[in-house]
Amino acid sequence: AQKITQTQPGMFVQEKEAVTLDCTYDTSDPSYGLFWYKQPSSGEMIFLIYQGSYDQQNATEGRYSLNFQKARKSANLVISASQLGDSAMYFCAMRELSSQGGSEKLVFGKGTKLTVNP
Amino acid sequence: DTAVSQTPKYLVTQMGNDKSIKCEQNLGHDTMYWYKQDSKKFLKIMFSYNNKELIINETVPNRFSPKSPDKAHLNLHINSLELGDSAVYFCASSRAGYEQYFGPGTRLTVT
């Protein structure tokens, strides 16, 4: 079963509008972390925002905010005032402990391709 | 002042060859990783090293051998390359409990 599900293969948004990228996760661990990464067409992976499972407030970083609904196991990324440079692939990821040595690893969703139209 | 660097950025080689990808981080992180991104953009962890010690090996073929000479470096050597090895390989590093920082990726094409 997928641990991270991103149901939107592609999304379109008009410049200056807000957009929400969906992410649901599956874990039985009480302690976990959720991340969003951006991958522009140039290929690098850029860390955007982090939400810890015990954090009381939703994370925000500039125009990025994370709509964390723990009971629903969702961690949606909200981008406000979209810009053309926001066009990219967006990956939701969950940090989980590996059964090997207790080290952490990231488990990624399949990504959402966001296109911002002028 | 690059945080995580990888070389080379592109690698084109023939089936059966052996190749290496190098990774270095200057963030002082204890843990380094290799991820593989396939043609459908799916990212999956391959290996994790903590302080030069292999911690995670996610059912990767024996043809892939990571080596960490010190905690700032993690190299990936691939023997007997196959067509299916074509992918983008990302190195990453982190402190425990914090976000992972990724290198620029190495696009490997096996012909």
Contact B82, B23 (CB under 8 A): no
| pLDDT recorded at residue A102 | 63
A59-85: pLDDT as tens digits:
999 999 999 999 999 999 999 999 999
| pLDDT recorded at residue B18 | 97
B12-to-B9, B17, B20 alpha-carbon distances in Å: 10, 10, 12
Q: CA-CA distance, B20 to A52, in Å (whole number)?
A: 36
Percentage of chain A surpassing pLDDT 70? 94
* Residue for token pair 């972390």: A33
| Backbone torsions φ then ψ of A86, nearest 5 degrees | -80, -10
B32-81: pLDDT as tens digits:
999 999 999 999 999 998 888 888 888 789 999 999 999 899 999 999 99
User: How many CA atoms are closer than 13 Å to the CA of B37, on its beta-carbon side?
Assistant: 23
Contact A16, A81 (CB under 8 A): yes
Q: How many CB atoms lie within 10 A of CB A31?
A: 12
What mean pLDDT do residues B24-36 have?
A: 94
Cβ of A43 within 8 Å of Cβ of B40? The answer is no
Q: Is A37 on the interface with B (CB under 8 A)?
A: yes
Percentage of chain B surpassing pLDDT 70? 99
DSSP label at residue A23? -
What mean pLDDT do residues B2-22 have?
A: 95
| pLDDT recorded at residue B1 | 65
What mean pLDDT do residues A28-43 have?
A: 94
Q: Is B101 on the interface with A (CB under 8 A)?
A: yes
Contact B69, B1 (CB under 8 A): no
Q: CA-CA distance, A7 to A22, in Å (whole number)?
A: 7
User: How many CA atoms are closer than 13 Å to the CA of B41, on its beta-carbon side?
Assistant: 20
Preceding omega of B69 cis (within 30 degrees of 0): no
Rg of the Cα atoms in chain A:
14
**B61-67: long-range pairs with CB below 8 Å, 24+:** B66/B34
| Backbone torsions φ then ψ of B84, nearest 5 degrees | -70, -10
| pLDDT recorded at residue A101 | 61
Taking the CA of residue B80 and the nearest CA in chain A, the distance in Å comes to: 26
For residue B43, give the chain A residue with the closest CA.
Answer: A108
Cβ of A104 within 8 Å of Cβ of B97? The answer is yes
Cβ of B105 within 8 Å of Cβ of A106? The answer is no
Q: CA-CA distance, B35 to B64, in Å (whole number)?
A: 12
DSSP B82-107: -GGG-EEEEEEEE-TTSPPEE---EE
| pLDDT recorded at residue A22 | 98
| pLDDT recorded at residue A100 | 65
A79-90: pLDDT as tens digits:
999 999 999 999
| pLDDT recorded at residue A96 | 81
* Residue for token pair 């059964």: A99
Q: CA-CA distance, B52 to B73, in Å (whole number)?
A: 8
Cβ of B55 within 8 Å of Cβ of A110? The answer is no
